[in-house]
């Protein structure tokens, strides 16, 4: 690999990811004991996290997928959120957990939470692998957070930069 295409530096390694996902799965399983949940994966960045955490949640789960666009091929959100794939399952009177890869500005999450609340679920909670508290532009509620991180742009473990780096088994960052 050329120097301009070197691998990202490790921010959160595989072992830490796995351990935290097991903890999150146990907490969600306890919180929803005796209930069935509708788990909504926000594509594309969340698919690896979603797949791994579902195996740790010991409950009946119905899976749904939602795709939104706010970044395009850029490192900064455009602020405009577009749903490009909507869920099929009616959510009324169901316990819903929205699974995100990263909460950055909070704009996309706020939009999605409002959209899903309008479908009248019995409950709606959010689980995000990563959260950047200092980058929030609006207050959002995230009940389950894997890791709080700084402002760096992260890739790997499903997250990408213009389609690259999704397959890395760790969360990394690119040095400027």
Q: Which of 31, 101, 104, 160 is catalytic?
A: 104
**Domain 3-173 classification at class level:** alpha beta
Average pLDDT, stretch 31-37? Answer: 96
Q: What is the pLDDT of residues 76-121, one digit of tens each?
A: 555 678 888 999 989 999 999 999 999 999 999 999 999 999 999 9
The Cα-based distances of 29 to 36, 95, 151, 170 in angstroms read 10, 13, 31, 25
Token match 């999605």: residue? 112
104 in active site: yes
The H helix count followed by the E strand count for the chain is 3, 9
Average pLDDT, stretch 3-21? Answer: 89
pTM, rounded to two decimals: 0.91
Q: What is the pLDDT of residues 119-170, one digit of tens each?
A: 999 999 999 999 999 999 999 999 999 999 999 999 999 999 988 999 999 9
Q: What is the pLDDT of residues 62-88, one digit of tens each?
A: 999 999 876 555 555 556 788 889 999
Torsion of CA 10, 13, 16, 18, to 10 degrees: 140
How buried is 19 (Cβ within 10 angstroms: 0-12 exposed, 13-18 middle, 19+ buried)?
Answer: exposed
- Centroid of chain to Cα 16: 17
d(CA 95, CA 33): 12
174 touches 8 (CB < 8 A)? yes
The domains of the chain are located at: 3-173
Q: Categorize the per-residue pLDDT at 24 as very low, low, confident or very high, splitting at 50, 70 and 90.
A: very high
């Amino acid at each position: 690999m050329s120097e301009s295409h070197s691998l990202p530096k490790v921010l959160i390694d595989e072992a830490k990811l796995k351990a935290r996902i097991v903890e999150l799965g146990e907490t969600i399983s306890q919180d929803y004991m005796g209930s069935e949940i509708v788990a909504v994966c926000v594509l594309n960045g969340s698919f690896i996290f979603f797949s791994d955490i579902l195996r740790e949640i010991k409950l009946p789960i119905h899976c749904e997928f939602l795709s939104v666009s706010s970044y395009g091929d850029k490192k900064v959100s455009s602020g405009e959120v577009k749903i490009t794939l909507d869920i099929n399952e009616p959510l009324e009177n169901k316990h819903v957990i929205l699974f995100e890869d990263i909460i950055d500005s909070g704009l996309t999450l706020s939009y999605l939470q409002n959209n899903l609340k309008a479908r009248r679920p019995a409950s709606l909670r959010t689980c995000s692998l990563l959260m950047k508290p200092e980058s929030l532009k609006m207050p959002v509620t995230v009940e389950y957070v894997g890791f709080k991180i700084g402002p760096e742009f992260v890739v790997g473990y499903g997250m990408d930069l213009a389609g690259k780096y999704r397959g890395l088994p760790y969360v990394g960052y690119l040095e400027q």
